[in-house]
């Protein structure tokens, strides 16, 4: 800092904690672990020092799948030890996800999962990057946590609302409420209606606070005045925006592999932007990105789907389209 320098220390393994390049260098250092995991046929995600393992298995043959997972985690732990790192199984969590019938079969026989030689109890829910996931992926607990946090801030702002200007109140509403509602809201696509309604009540409350309207005032004119999309439309917006980015940049690759352009017998310009929509028989499956992304994408107007447009243009056209759906009198160009 300035003319002063700290002492130089050689690091043989790992990376300095707190350094700017720490997360990136750590990811590079641990990248070979991907080959160890892939060798067992297990899917994975890595984010900084967090590694998630995903394994699909049949409800009537869970021992085979759990055996593969146990062998994989044992090899991962061994790799860490050989490279000067330590895997702490006690800080790991295990979650079994499935339909109601599948969970009924599995949970009756499986109460723990072996991770690197340690038996972990199967959790009812886990938090992944701030999102609470439960066994049914209902997102109900996550929605409840978001609503509880927003209601706490709403009560605090109401006490000082008379001291705030309208502009400042709206800024607080966006930073304290909408930021929480929008965080990872793509996972809410296809969620039960009662969960969406709970978040909508939070947004309605934020709109009334921002415009200092009575608690029982009709909220639709307020949302239009604030130029806010409803909660469901914000979810549709996020899924469509994610689909556009995946199609434009082909990243992340694991999402790009899930969507395919619809094939046509004739090369018509009006049909080149449509996506193939897989056939599904359950509501649970329709929530997957491979199904929700094509469904939302194909429902957009052709002017919005112009793949040659820039991201900023697509976002503007998409929001205009969603506004015109909510309020037909809204001018859509």
Task: Find out whether the peptide bond into 252 is cis, omega within 30 degrees of 0.
Answer: yes
Confidence bin at 333 (pLDDT 50/70/90): very low
Rounded Cα–Cα distance for residues 151 and 205 (Å) = 9
How buried is residue 155: exposed, middle or buried, by Cβ count under 10 Å (0-12/13-18/19+)?
A: exposed
The predicted structure's pLDDT at residue 4: 84
Q: pLDDT: is 47 or 146 the higher one?
A: 146
The predicted structure's pLDDT at residue 265: 57
Q: pLDDT: is 15 or 46 the higher one?
A: 46
Rounded Cα–Cα distance for residues 333 and 319 (Å) = 11
Task: Pick the most confident of 37-51, 218-232, 294-308.
Answer: 218-232
Rounded Cα–Cα distance for residues 234 and 113 (Å) = 37
Rounded Cα–Cα distance for residues 76 and 73 (Å) = 5
| 3-state SS assignment for residue 288 | coil
Of 16-25, 135-144, 150-159, the one with minimum mean pLDDT is 16-25
Examine the pLDDT at 170 and tell me if it is beyond 80. yes
Examine the pLDDT at 155 and tell me if it is beyond 80. yes
Cβ-based neighbour number of residue 209 at 10 Å: 22
Examine the pLDDT at 110 and tell me if it is beyond 80. yes
pTM for the model:
0.84
Which tens digit of pLDDT belongs to each residue from 178-204?
Answer: 999 999 999 999 898 999 999 999 999
Rounded Cα–Cα distance for residues 315 and 242 (Å) = 11
Q: Indicate the average pLDDT of the chain.
A: 87
Confidence bin at 305 (pLDDT 50/70/90): confident
- The answer to whether 298 and 275 are in contact (CB under 8 A) is yes
Q: pLDDT: is 46 or 203 the higher one?
A: 203
Which tens digit of pLDDT belongs to each residue from 60-102?
Answer: 888 888 999 999 999 999 999 998 888 888 788 999 988 888 8
Q: How many helices (H) and strands (E) does the chain have?
A: 14, 6
Helices (H), the chain: 22-29, 33-38, 62-82, 100-107, 140-160, 166-173, 179-182, 193-211, 220-226, 231-249, 253-256, 283-286, 289-298, 311-326
Confidence bin at 14 (pLDDT 50/70/90): low
Q: Mean pLDDT, to the nearest integer, of 10-17?
A: 70
The predicted structure's pLDDT at residue 271: 47
Which tens digit of pLDDT belongs to each residue from 239-262?
Answer: 999 999 999 888 888 899 999 888
């Amino acid at each position: 800092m300035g003319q002063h320098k700290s002492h130089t220390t050689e690091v043989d393994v790992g990376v300095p904690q707190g350094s700017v390049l720490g997360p990136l260098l750590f990811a590079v250092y641990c990248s070979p672990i991907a080959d160890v995991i892939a060798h067992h046929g297990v899917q994975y995600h890595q984010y900084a020092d967090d590694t998630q393992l995903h394994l699909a298995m049949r409800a009537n043959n869970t021992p085979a799948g759990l055996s593969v997972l146990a062998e994989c985690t044992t090899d991962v732990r061994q790799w860490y030890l050989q490279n000067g790192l330590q895997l702490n199984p006690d800080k790991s969590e295990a979650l079994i996800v499935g339909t109601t019938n599948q969970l009924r079969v599995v949970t009756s026989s499986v109460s723990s999962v072996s991770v690197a030689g340690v038996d972990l109890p199967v959790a009812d829910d886990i938090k992944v990057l701030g999102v609470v996931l439960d066994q049914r992926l209902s997102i109900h607990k996550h929605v409840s946590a978001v609503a509880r946090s927003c209601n706490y801030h709403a009560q605090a702002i109401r006490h000082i609302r008379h001291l705030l200007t309208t502009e400042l109140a709206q800024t607080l509403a966006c930073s304290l409420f909408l930021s929480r509602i929008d965080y990872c809201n793509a996972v809410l696509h296809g969620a039960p209606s009662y969960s969406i309604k709970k978040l909508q009540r939070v947004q309605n409350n934020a709109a009334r606070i921002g415009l200092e309207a009575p608690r029982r005032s009709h909220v639709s004119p307020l949302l239009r005045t604030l130029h806010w999309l409803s909660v469901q439309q914000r979810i549709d917006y996020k899924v469509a925006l994610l689909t556009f980015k995946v199609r434009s940049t082909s990243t992340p690759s694991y999402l790009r592999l899930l969507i395919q352009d619809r094939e046509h017998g004739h090369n018509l310009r009006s049909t080149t932007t449509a996506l193939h929509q897989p056939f599904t028989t359950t509501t649970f499956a329709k929530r997957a990105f491979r199904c929700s992304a094509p469904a939302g994408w194909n429902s957009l107007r052709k002017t919005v789907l112009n793949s040659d447009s820039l991201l900023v243009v697509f976002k503007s056209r998409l929001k205009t389209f969603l506004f015109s759906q909510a309020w037909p009198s809204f001018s859509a160009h």
